[in-house]
Amino acid sequence: MDILFSDPLWWQWMAFGFILVVAEIIVPSFVVIWFGIAAIAVSVIDWMFDTTFKTELFLWIFLSSFFVYLWFKKFKPKTLTKSGQADEDMNTKGVITQEVEPFGRGRAKFEVPILGSSDWVVTSDEKLETGTHIVSIEALGNMIKVKKTK
């Protein structure tokens, strides 16, 4: 029983690493896996060089931090969508359904939903009659600024 709580052997680091890698399935954060891979790397280093526990612990902390850094700064896929952002669907075409006075408010229906809705309160710098074809320019809080298409 003393062997389990003394200097960890290489196979204990390996088991710890595999437990962490499997834990990634339960906790899908894609962070735990890097701690597991670092533990597996420490087990290989311990097997090859028979290092002390302090060295192994330092290596595990260093490698875990390094792998997490690499994942978040270098390899993590970039978010390609602007979903949920205020400029998500700008330049979307639509039609005025309620007349808009200059700098006033009206209503418009868009071909493609903007921020989850196709019917919006709109504003414009110019007068827009009902049935005028428009394009969205920017989101202004709870309304969309539009301009007439040419």
pLDDT tens, 26-64?
888 888 999 999 999 999 999 999 898 899 999 999 999
Sign, CA dihedral 27-30-35-39, equals positive
Determine the pLDDT at residue 74.
Answer: 83
Which range, 38-42, 78-82, 142-146, is most confident?
38-42
Considering the chain, what percentage of its residues have pLDDT values greater than 70? 87
Whether 24 and 39 have beta carbons less than 8 Å apart is answered as: no
* DSSP label of 75: I
Q: List phi, psi (to 5°) of 133.
A: -80, 135
User: b/e string for 1-12 if b means 16 or more Cβ within 10 A?
Assistant: eeeeeeebebeb
Q: How many residues does the chain have?
A: 150
Task: Provide the residue ranges of all domains of the chain, joining segments of one domain with +.
Answer: 2-75, 93-148
Range 89-107 average pLDDT: 90
Residues in CB range of 9: below 8 A, 6 or more apart: 3, 46
3-state class (DSSP) for residue 58: helix
* DSSP label of 8: P
Residues in CB range of 94: below 8 A, 6 or more apart: 108, 109, 110, 111, 118, 133, 134, 135, 136, 146
Q: Which CATH number describes the domain made up of 93-148?
A: 2.40.50.140
On average, the pLDDT of the chain sits at: 87
DSSP element (H, E) containing 41 = helix 32-49
